[in-house]
Every structure is written in structure tokens, then in C-alpha cells.
Amino acid sequence: MKKRRGEVLKRLCRSSHYCGSRNSDRENQMKTEEHLEAIAVFIQRVTAAVSELKDHLQQDYERTYPDLGEIIRIVLDEEEAKAWELSLFPHLFLPDMVEAHIANLNLQPVETKHEDVFEQLHRKANGFHYKPTEW
């Protein structure tokens, strides 16, 4: 997972609007360092949101399929990796990707509260404050 996050960070850095500016090298270096720090904070927030979402999905699916804990963990890990490849906002795709994978295993998707969880995690990943609710 760290390798993918590193690739995401490099991709963000390459797309930085600071890369081709006409500022002095020192100004560019300072702006790039500030930009990299902001990117690192963003990646940490999104990573924390994805981790929290995975925990909630794991609990929901294990409640319905208690004997399939290991398979559920594998599905979550596989779909998280795919979601990181798709977007810098993997938490937007992860619940639906997991649901589709579970359906491919001929299992019924479970009722999750991921609508509420999703909104809270999205706001958290983007630095907005929210009131925690009972999950």
C-alpha cells in the first residue's frame, strides 16, 4: 500500500503548478516544499478515511458472514488497491467496489450504513469538521 501512496504523491508532485513557473530556484523550492507538505497531509487524511471505512465495511460484512472473515479481508484489500489506482479519493469508490466483488462471489451484499459513514469520512478527508454519530 505504501508504494501506491508514494506513486500517488509523485503523480501529484509532477502535476504541480509550481514546476514550470518563472520564480527563482529558491522560491520554487520553498513553494514546492509547502506544496509537498500539503499533499502529504492530504494523503494522510485520505488514508485514515479509507482505513476507517474499511473497518466499518469489515464489521458490516462479518456480521452477516461471520465465517468468512479472511475472505472479506482479502476482498477489502484487493478493492482498496484498485480504488487507489482509480482515484486520489478511493473512499468514494470502495464501498461499491467491495459490494460488486461480494456479489461476484455469489454472496448477498449487506445493508451497510456507508451512506452516513461515507459523508463523514469524505468531510474528514477534506479537512471539514463533523459531529460524530453513533455507528
pLDDT tens, position by position, 81-106: 999 999 989 999 999 999 999 999 99
Q: Which three cell numbers stand for residue 80?
A: 482498496
Place of cell 494523503: 43
State the total domains in the chain.
Answer: 1
Let me know if residue 28 belongs to a domain: yes
Let me know if residue 104 belongs to a domain: yes
Q: What is the pLDDT of residue 55?
A: 95
Q: Which letter does DSSP use for residue 23 in this model?
A: S
pLDDT at 23 over 60: no
Share of the chain above pLDDT 70, in %: 59
Give the integer Cα–Cα distance in Å for 97 and 80: 9
Tell me what the pLDDT averaged over the chain comes to. Answer: 78
Give the integer Cα–Cα distance in Å for 111 and 123: 22
Let me know if residue 130 belongs to a domain: no
